[in-house]
Chain A
Amino acid sequence: MDLSGVYTELIAEHNKSQHNKRHLKTPTAVLKGKNPSCGDEITLEVEVLDGIIQDAAFHGIGCAISQASTSIMIDLVRGKSIGEANDLIDTFIGMIKREITDESELAVLEDALALKNISNMPARVKCAVLSWHTLESAIQSGPVKLLADER
């Protein structure tokens, strides 16, 4: 196993970075994501307006992989529509599960591509996907219902 392919500079940077660790003023959804078996626990805040993720932030504790994955995800989905975000979530989870391997298809993940090698570490897959599953629930619960009502 090549550690440099897992604990990349980008992941180390995002793990240490605090720029997405804050509270939103007017979140439309606040959701906890947990991996009880290992103690990873994040709280994701998102603000969705007119079907667009205006902003997102998180707080919580966990390993470098879960922390970095969350921070990278937030940078990626900020400003994206719910539909785009859902596509990104599917692509990311597909990459980690090795169901999507086509590089051109994965390119949309931008910095999140740095987590690709986690797919070689079965014990850590759940760390990488925690925040993405949390986001999936967060944008489907409150805000998505709002959109449906408007229709």
Chain B
Amino acid sequence: MSNEYRKDFPLLQQEMNGHPLVYLDNGATTQKPAAVIDAVNTYYSRYNANPHRGAYDLSVKATDLYEHARKRVKTFINARHGYEIVFTKNASESLNLLAYSYGMHFVEAGDEIVISIAEHHSNLIPWQQVAKARGAVLKYMYLDDDGRIAAAEIENKITARTKIVAVTHVSNVLGIVNPVDAVVKKAHSVGAVVIIDGAQSVPHMKIDIQALDADFLVFSGHKMLSPMGIGVLYGKAELLDKMPPFLFGGDMIEYVEEQDATFAPLPAKFEAGTQNVGGAVGLAAAIDYINQVGFVEIERREKELIAYAVAKLKELPYIELYGCTDLKDKTGVITFNIKDIHPHDVASILDADGVAIRAGHHCAQPLMKYLKVNATCRASFYFYNTRAEIDQLLASLQKVRGVMGFGS
């Protein structure tokens, strides 16, 4: 198990059900390095105060740390301005913010919203509800044989009536990188705005938002080594500026009178109430850690793991793989089923061996229907996983049919 990063992750040192923990549910949430845990600890031990409020030294320090975190995120995704970074709870909240503050205000009856069939529920339901409320049409782009959004679908579904295109950069089920450049190009050619759900891409690959030219990008901190409860909405300043606030309250106003109020400039306009400063500090530390490892290394490791795992899984005749025909544009996510066995039984049997995978519909029920499955198993890797862990996964998988009373 030669992986110099594992020692940095306290949780990975422990056992589960009497076996060394093999944590393969990184698509759901990643583990946290000591550097992140320590940064949060230090914040609460030494710097905690309400930012933007007090005239005293501690509040100024808390403000500095919070705004420093914003700068870290800005540089991380290469945004033009720091005020284009809005802190939220997670990608879901960022998408809801967009649905309420953009969708509900700028989508009219008869307009079209285009998403893909591979969306996580959090980039699907908000648009479904906006379409319902505004009398708009929700259209789906379907997938090609490799599991990515088909080129013809991008060409045909995005039309002059399209106002919003919201797509996942990487599917949380298939792990396939979607052709978001083509989506952005086509959407902009018809005057639509593009929202990229980066929850499964930002932790795994270098994103240059100016080069990508998407109008909005959302992601969650907890899927990239940060604490839970901190997320990001990036938006182009001119778009964020014309959007009304999402939540009202403290810290997002300029002047408040009995019957009226004016709102703070970006990004405070979208950050009502006391924010998760500890989370933002943790996110900044996570970005530092990821930068230290480097995306070249992260991608190299994940590619190696996925190639190894897929090759081994293909040797087992009773395993059906989804979205594994082309590994070129694939991140470290493998979705599969074992013949005759429900994914939850697979997950329970693996659990007994200390192997943590996800089983179920992965918050993507329409995609499950499209793939004609009820549920699947998913193993998802990060750079701290090892070949030895994949060997353990395979060893456990080979026990499953026997435990369930089926011959191999």
Contacts and interface: CB of A to CB of B under 8 A. Distances in A.
Interface of A: 1-4, 6-7, 9, 12-13, 15-16, 37-40, 61-65, 67, 121, 123-124, 127
Interface stretch (B35-43, B172-180, B346-354): B346-354
Contacts of B352: 1-3
A63 B360 CA distance: 10
A7 B374 contact: no
Given A3-B403, A62-B342, A38 B359 contact: yes
B405 A38 contact: no
A121 B343 CA distance: 16
B17 A38 contact: no
Given A37-B360, A39-B360, A65 B403 contact: no
Given A38-B359, A39-B361, A61-B374, A1 B341 contact: no
Interface residues of B, number: 20
A127 B404 contact: no
Most chain A CB within 10 A, of B345, B368, B375, B404, is at B345
Residue of A40, A64, A124, A127 most packed against chain B (CB within 10 A):
A64
B255 to A, nearest CB: 46
Contact of B404 (A15, A39, A40, A123): A15
Contacts of B68: none
A65 B359 contact: no
Contacts of A9: 405
Contacts of B343: 63
B375 A124 contact: no
Contacts of B345: 7, 63-65
Contact of A39 (B17, B341, B351, B375): B375
Interface of B: 17, 341-345, 348-349, 351-352, 359-361, 368, 374-375, 403-406
Given A38-B344, A39-B374, A63-B344, A7 B361 contact: no
A13 B405 CA distance: 8
Contacts of B348: 3, 6, 121, 123-124
28 contacts: A1-B352, A2-B352, A3-B403, A4-B403, A6-B348, A7-B345, A7-B404, A12-B404, A13-B405, A15-B405, A16-B405, A16-B406, A38-B359, A38-B360, A38-B361, A39-B368, A39-B374, A40-B344, A61-B342, A61-B374, A63-B342, A63-B344, A64-B342, A64-B345, A67-B342, A121-B348, A123-B348, A124-B344
Task: Identify the interface centre among B341, B349, B404: most chain A CB within 10 Å of its CB.
Answer: B404
Given A4-B403, A6-B348, A16-B406, 19 more contacts: A1-B17, A1-B351, A1-B352, A2-B352, A3-B348, A3-B349, A3-B352, A7-B349, A7-B404, A12-B404, A13-B405, A38-B375, A39-B375, A40-B344, A61-B374, A123-B348, A123-B351, A124-B348, A127-B344
Contacts of B341: 64
B187 to A, nearest CB: 33
Contacts of A4: 403
A127 B343 CA distance: 13
A1 B342 CA distance: 19
Contacts of A13: 405
Contacts of B406: 16
B176 to A, nearest CB: 22
Contacts of A67: 342
Nearest to B368: A39
Nearest to A118: B348
Contacts of A2: 352
Nearest to B340: A16
A136 to B, nearest CB: 23
A38 to B, nearest CB: 5
- Counting from the closest, the 6 A-B pairs by CB-CB distance are A12-B405, A63-B342, A63-B344, A39-B375, A1-B352, A64-B345
A2 B368 CA distance: 31
Nearest to B399: A3
Contacts of A38: 344, 359-361, 375
A120 to B, nearest CB: 11
B346 to A, nearest CB: 9
Contacts of A15: 404-405
A12 B403 CA distance: 9
A100 B359 CA distance: 30
A121 B347 CA distance: 12
A38 B348 CA distance: 13
Contact of A64 (B351, B375, B404): B404
Contacts of A62: 342
Nearest to A67: B342
A12 B351 CA distance: 18
A3 B404 CA distance: 10
A100 B352 CA distance: 26
